[in-house]
A and B are shown apart, each in its own frame.
Chain A
Amino acid sequence: MSSRAVSSWGNLVRAEHALFGLRGRSDPFPKIPAGSSVLPFGNGRSYGDSCLNPGGALLETRALDRFIRFDRETGLLASEAGVLLDDILRLAVPAGWFLPVVPGTAYVTVGGAIANDVHGKNHHRAGTFGRHVRELELLRSNGERLKCSRVEHPQWFSATIGGLGLTGVITWAELQLTRIPGPWLAMEVVRFANLEQFFELCDESDREFEYTVAWIDCLARGRRLGRGLLQRANHSEIADRDRRAHVRQLSVPFMSPISLVNAVTLRVFNTLHYHRQWSPRARYTVDLREFFFPLDWVLHWNRLYGPRGFYQYQCVLPGLFARDATAQLLETVALRGQGSFLAVIKRFGSPTSPGMLSFPRAGVTLALDFPNKGASLEHLFRELDEVVSVAGGRLYPAKDARMPGTLFRSGYPRWQEFARYVDPVCSSSFWRRVTEGAHMTEGVYMTEGA
């Protein structure tokens, strides 16, 4: 065991953690010193504190990076939990298979993708990552190994998917991949002048395209509120040899001393980006990685936000109130002039999420990045929280570093049911924060067993 300062993707805190590690899926759960706690840690791409456990320990899983089996006929792939989605794609794409769901980066582990029940641009068709997990093994601190699926230990399965690593450590999982004709996508980029147009485009897009996502200029106001670009795509049959993906990889070599994302750069970027194509509709053929992981070609892009780090605010607004609430959120952000490069909006579809704490549900999801400016930003967040809360929405734990416990508990009504499955030695900064105060009055959740 050693110890090290660890931070998450948002670089908001850098805290000392004791480190344990698993080398292989047959390794036992390490002995955690009495009174301490531990949290499984994959590739550290969660933005806030859901992957951190300051004062306690982390259980590193990246060395669990072995494939177990891959059936090229059926697309069933089993691997250890520390394998990166990137590794899977390198193996599967040339064989004509693709992950059924990918988040915005390929640099996350399988365990992390399950523990956060991540979603992607095809949520309206495929739902969340967890829906495609056939089976997983959960290793508990008491040494128990639970094989979990929809039929075996279904409650543990449902607690562990989206369970933020709190139910124990996932050692391996089996995924059902999907067939693709090749590594190319036929993409259309459609400009929309405001939020209303975006919603009009949604119906048609969701019907005809497997993947949809939109970028919004969050500084635009008034009639232009919610203007942006909608990307929609389908897998393309185009033959490999006709084209070559341009492999490019840049890196931000060191932490920028100040945030390069500020009022000036933001306005310039947003305006230019909105007008990046002449026609309101353009067609492209793009490589998988270019479409799904546009930011992965800049390693360490989080360093652009400077040493104080950044927050991401991602919410989902359900059903009927989604439109109005989205408009309200965007108005509030535009009014405060604190927009982001990466304002992303997508309409989630109806497939249900399997996890007790899964974030996605039918409605609209909006994700906004903000450089950390301290108190004024928290003030803005409180205003946004209010809108989300009234609309019956919730925030995404994988992105969160500050949501109030009350918002978590109202947004995730199954949290107490979930709490029964939390491993007695597992905890996280996030979990302590959002349950703080609650267990005094509602005192049920620390007890074991159901």
Chain B
Amino acid sequence: MNRTLIVGATSAIAEATARRLAKRGDPLYLVARDQQRLAAVAADVGVRGSPRVGSEALNANHIGEHGRMLERAEQFLGGLDTVLIAYGTLSDQKTCEASVEHTLHELHTNALSVVALLTLVANRLAARGAGTIAVISSVAGDRGRSSNYVYGSAKALVTVFLSGLRQRLHRRGVAVVTIKPGFVDTPMTAAFRKGPLWTKPDRVAAGIVRAIDRKAGVVYLPGFWRPIMLIVRMIPERIFRALEW
């Protein structure tokens, strides 16, 4: 039994993960912005086998609410074993380029609010000396590309933050898992043309559950993204800057 808090529970990947956890009987506390969608997801995972499902509507950008939400989650679940942070917005690069405000807002949603939440979660779990923190970052955070570097740089911040956090918490018995999905066919990417590199949310979810169970460090999902991103990172800047992605 793994008492799990999921923040961003209505995202396709998080929902698929919640279903898998529910099926094996994990109690869940689900947090998301949209109250109606959240209620639908909560009812569903209850039917699928989660013995105890709590939920609360929260905009993660309201950083001041994080502490109380964590308190309620821990109280509802009677403790906290795993925290999965899965929310985010796929920033529209063109809009960001034209608007400082929009860029900063996207960075706030995808990076700063995550850092704020992680700081509280980390201290909570560290105090107990056990637990797993899993966060959905992205392959986009491995290197900035012209087509989505605002989103990418936010994810890069999260990735590096997690790397440091992992070292810090390692000695305290808390595992930190960085999840880097590639292209996933979700409502967030509905407007994209899908090719062979695309995968389904449930496949990513299976990988997330496995990574949480193994307390893995950094996982690429599906795994073939690891060598791809290795190559992408190795391309010399002189060549990389001339590419158009």
Contacts and interface: CB of A to CB of B under 8 A. Distances in A.
Q: Do A and B bind each other?
A: yes
A67 B47 contact: yes
Given A2-B190, A2-B191, A91 B47 contact: yes
A69 B48 CA distance: 9
Contacts of B90: none
Nearest to B191: A2
A26 B47 contact: no
B53 to A, nearest CB: 12
- Max chain A C-beta neighbours (<10 A), residue from B37, B40, B43, B48: B40
A308 interface: no
B44 A66 contact: yes
Contacts of B40: 24-26, 66, 68, 80
B191 A68 contact: no
B41 interface: yes
A25 B48 CA distance: 18
Given A2-B191, A23-B187, A67 B37 contact: no
Interface string B21-51: 0000000000000001100110110011000
Contacts of B187: 23, 63
A59 to B, nearest CB: 14
Contacts of B190: 2, 21
Interface residues of B, number: 11
A326 to B, nearest CB: 44
Most buried by A among B36, B41, B43, B47: B47
A445 interface: no
A412 interface: no
A2 B37 CA distance: 23
A66 B36 contact: no
A66 B191 contact: no
A68 B47 contact: yes
A25 B36 CA distance: 9
Nearest to B47: A67
Interface string A26-39: 10000000000000
B37 A24 contact: yes
Contact of B47 (A21, A25, A69): A69
A2 B43 CA distance: 30
Contacts of A80: 40
A381 interface: no
Contacts of A21: 190
Contact of A69 (B41, B43, B191): B43
Contacts of A23: 37, 187
A209 interface: no
A75 to B, nearest CB: 13
A277 to B, nearest CB: 40
Nearest to A83: B44
Interface of A: 2, 21, 23-26, 63, 66-70, 80, 91
- A-B pairs, 7 with minimum CB distance: A67-B47, A66-B44, A26-B36, A70-B47, A67-B44, A66-B40, A24-B37
9 contacts: A24-B37, A26-B36, A63-B187, A66-B41, A67-B43, A68-B44, A68-B47, A69-B47, A70-B47
